[in-house]
Amino acid sequence: MSCPFFMIRYRGIDMAELLNTSDLSSKAAWQATLAEFIAVMLFVFVGSGAIIGIGMVGADGGTTLIIAALAHGLAITALVSAIGRISGGHINPAVTVAAVVTGRMSLVKGAMYVAAQLVGAVVGAALLLSVIPLADQGSLGAHSLNVDVASGLIVEMLLTFMLVFVIFATAMDPKGPGHLAPFAIGLAVMVDHFVGVPLTGASMNPARSFGPALATGEWANHWVYWIGPIMGAVLAAIIYEVIYIRGHEEEAA
């Protein structure tokens, strides 16, 4: 039984391996899940906190863009460096979905990761609410569209495509420059912010959007920040996996 996309039979993944319920009793899997929770909690706290801080100091538009890009890009660089060896440093449900789709992670472990990422995002947003003065909380860095819905969907798809393509090329490709992965991934996040912040807020990460949205009740067009990143992530993962990883393996065989 096989399916070329969702089971990636060419990698030898069958249904039992795809589900792999043993992850539920694996200490290593739970340690990795905890690492994802901590990383996303800190990412939301720092990322949203930077956006709030910009408003508190009254920065202009150009400064706002630079600070937002640097805060998110450098935070991802640091956090991927910290937990990459433990969990792979996903810090993003879209990345986890891409890993499951390409057979690099079981469905059960993927669900553990996504749950931890979402809870971490909520906790990070709640911590911000507890320390930021009420008058300065605003939307808590929740994402919103400055373009129409179709354009926003395309922007989030393309931004996440670039991010996940870089992740697969550096962190998941056995021949990739793994030691440079945190820096490459952080740079991708930073560059994406320069393009995406004025248009969609540059989410690329459903958890980063979910935490502040739940904390503030800002749900307008929230589905865009799930569908866009996941579609872009899955497309990038399949293209890289099939053409550049599996393709090279077949050539070497």
- Residue 100 in contact with residue 110, Cβ under 8 Å? yes
Residue 8, domain member (yes or no):
no
End-to-end Cα separation, the chain, in angstroms: 24
Residue 2, domain member (yes or no):
no
What is the CATH number for 201? 1.20.1080.10
Q: Is residue 28's pLDDT more than 80?
A: yes
DSSP letter at 3 equals: -
Mean pLDDT along residues 35-56: 91
Residue 4, domain member (yes or no):
no
Mean pLDDT along residues 40-62: 83
% of the chain with per-residue pLDDT over 70: 86
| Residue 83 pLDDT level (bands cut at 50, 70, 90) | very high
Residue 150 belongs to what domain range? Answer: 13-252
Residue 1, domain member (yes or no):
no
Helices (H), 88-218: 93-101, 107-131, 134-137, 149-167, 181-196, 206-216
Residue 74, domain member (yes or no):
yes
| Residue 2 pLDDT level (bands cut at 50, 70, 90) | very low
For residue 243, the model assigns a pLDDT of: 94
Give the chain's domain count.
1
For residue 156, the model assigns a pLDDT of: 98
Residue 29, domain member (yes or no):
yes
Residue 3, domain member (yes or no):
no
Residue 26, domain member (yes or no):
yes
Mean pLDDT along residues 39-47: 97
User: What are the pLDDT digits (tens) for 229-244?
Assistant: 999 999 999 999 999 9
